[in-house]
A and B are shown apart, each in its own frame.
Chain A
């Protein structure tokens, strides 16, 4: 799980162009959207693609994104649960 989280952090930074951030700057429990990292709906779409591309997980309903992308931790949990 920790390994997955570290991997995920790097992927998020790359996909979302968070160029000034280092993986350790991201608190795994901090909200990704809103106040935390300040991501928006476009970023949500980026992350949906990331899940499908890197982990083969298809998020059919974008509305579910809000729960999945709450934090890096929730993302990792979702991946672990849904990975085939």
Chain B
């Protein structure tokens, strides 16, 4: 492994805004995109969630069509629009290649799942509801030469995509990887989580004593990774994915490990690859869904990894849990935190409510950092971790 996985560009759209800059500003201001949603198309009862501004999405997208490599009258689903919009944000800062050296990965859990609704199924048909088809459409919009790949590993998809992509780049399998993480707030997902009784009726409170569940959200984020230094000319601070790993609890499909060893293995694997120890990690952007078991598991995993003295936050109270997009948008935030040398308070946290000691960041402030650990965990017992580091050109 002699190449570096540089982070060239990023962009995201979320309930907090369009574009990374707008999102970062909102985060530094301490805003939350989670609000009461009363929409019978999403759930019969009002619930707390984080939604995108549809009007802005459609407006921007309609003129984006000019860029499309698909026929003029080709129609796009809402999910595809979200994904393409987030890629557009990266593209406008640094045109990304679409040639054979470039891999496009879509990280999502449910993609076009709204098409299963009877009325939509009639219009779009079964195939369009398939994840590979959505990825295909998005890839064709930009004209990628390689086949699009969909990574669907529940809530770790985004973080794991970064991990896998960085292996490909380091080993020279591909020079560039464009990763898009996207998921929508749909009746399908809301009803499912409701049936699990895991949604909070307030803005969620990760790691807090009174946490009582998560909020769902929707977002799309895109990260452009490359080993090609030529793309770095606009980056003032040079960052890389220095390590990554994924693991499985091998314990229960919907309940996290009681010991935290699964998550610990992923962290350990990432630190080993990055040749860093717990001392070198400056901050952890945790998964922190605010469900009682998840946060408890994470406190154990971080203690196993010797990271109990490093400031931890969760961004779920800002964006809600955006499933396949979460790992990407939260990594984008980490990227900007490293550039800005600022750490975000863990919104919603007041009093420690996890069994193992953790330092939960309570204030948004300047903070000197070189390495941020980003973790994620999900259904199926899966875990992933990546380390985002300040670096220099090789």
Chains A and B touch each other in the complex, with CB atoms below 8 Å apart: no
